[in-house]
Amino acid sequence: MKRSILRLEAANPDETAFRTTFKTRHGRSVFLSLEIRGPDYVIVDCFYTDRNQGRTGEARHSARPKMLRTLTFSTEDLLSVIEAELDKRFYGVEFVPSGQAGLSTDEYLQFQAEHTPRKYRFLILVGEGERYNGLPARLRTRLKTNLHRSVFVELAYYKDGQGVVKDCHYYDRPYRRQDVKITPPQLIRCFFPYTESGILNLINHEICCDFTHIIVTEGINVDSNTAPLCGAI
């Protein structure tokens, strides 16, 4: 079994500030920024990078891990704090000089996304109707998010190159009122570019997934079969 090492990249020329990204044991993507102040580490920023990425400004970095309470601690407690409060076990620390020390947080995250190898993850959509921008006018799926929630999604072409979210709700838990559909709270947009990249951006950033490509198929009855077609299954 390969043991994970925490790689901290220098965020300034003096190498007194460091940052990194990693995936938790439950598949969440985390950005962590900390500084060395005497004998202690101080966490200056920490947020999920798989939430709110369709937003701008401070709202984009607002999804803080709720379990993170300890912001100042001795250097020897770094790994134990991360394991207890950020849901990731590391077996060592490696300090890495970085050519990206001058980048802003958003620029650093963009660099990481562009240079980190990714596995293919296919979003499977069941299509019907006429085609717009190469996509059927109606697209539906059942998927499992990175938070292991099962979600039904229905998208449709609207007009002027835009699509609309017709339906998006959890279906894996019984609710007190059976006729109530609970929408993922991070879904804030109804309209989006009706293209493959527009759909991937919507699903990944607002429903907490990490798909890389789309497969459109026919003949699958998503009404009678509630098993997720894709995602964290």
Q: Please report, for the chain, the start and end positions of each structural domain, with discontinuous segments joined by +.
A: 6-115, 122-231
pTM of the model: 0.67
What pLDDT, on the 0 to 100 scale, is given for residue 175? Answer: 64
Tell me which range, 28-32, 76-80, 181-185, is most confidently predicted by mean pLDDT: 76-80
Which pLDDT band, with edges at 50, 70 and 90, does 13 fall under?
Answer: confident
Amino acid at 209: C
What pLDDT, on the 0 to 100 scale, is given for residue 55? Answer: 63
Q: Are 225 and 232 in contact (CB under 8 A)?
A: no
Across 73-97, average pLDDT: 94
What pLDDT, on the 0 to 100 scale, is given for residue 172? Answer: 86
Q: Are 74 and 40 in contact (CB under 8 A)?
A: yes
Using a pLDDT cut of 90, give the percent of the chain over it. 58
Count CA atoms closer than 13 A to 115's CA, side-chain side: 8
What pLDDT, on the 0 to 100 scale, is given for residue 54? Answer: 59
Q: Are 172 and 184 in contact (CB under 8 A)?
A: no
What letter does residue 215 receive in the DSSP assignment? E
Helices (H), 66-194: 78-86, 105-115
Distances (CA, A) of 79 to 16, 37, 45, 75, 133: 18, 17, 17, 9, 48
Across 29-57, average pLDDT: 86
Tell me which range, 52-61, 91-100, 129-138, 223-232, is most confidently predicted by mean pLDDT: 129-138
Measured CA to CA, the distance from residue 135 to residue 194 in angstroms comes to: 8
What pLDDT, on the 0 to 100 scale, is given for residue 120? Answer: 87
Which pLDDT band, with edges at 50, 70 and 90, does 3 fall under?
Answer: confident
What letter does residue 4 receive in the DSSP assignment? P
What pLDDT, on the 0 to 100 scale, is given for residue 110? Answer: 87
Distances (CA, A) of 145 to 3, 50, 186, 208: 26, 11, 12, 6
What pLDDT, on the 0 to 100 scale, is given for residue 205? Answer: 85
Question: What sign for the dihedral angle of Cα 112, 115, 117, 122?
Answer: positive
pLDDT of residue 8 exceeding 60, the answer is yes
51-61 pLDDT, tens per residue? Answer: 766 566 677 78
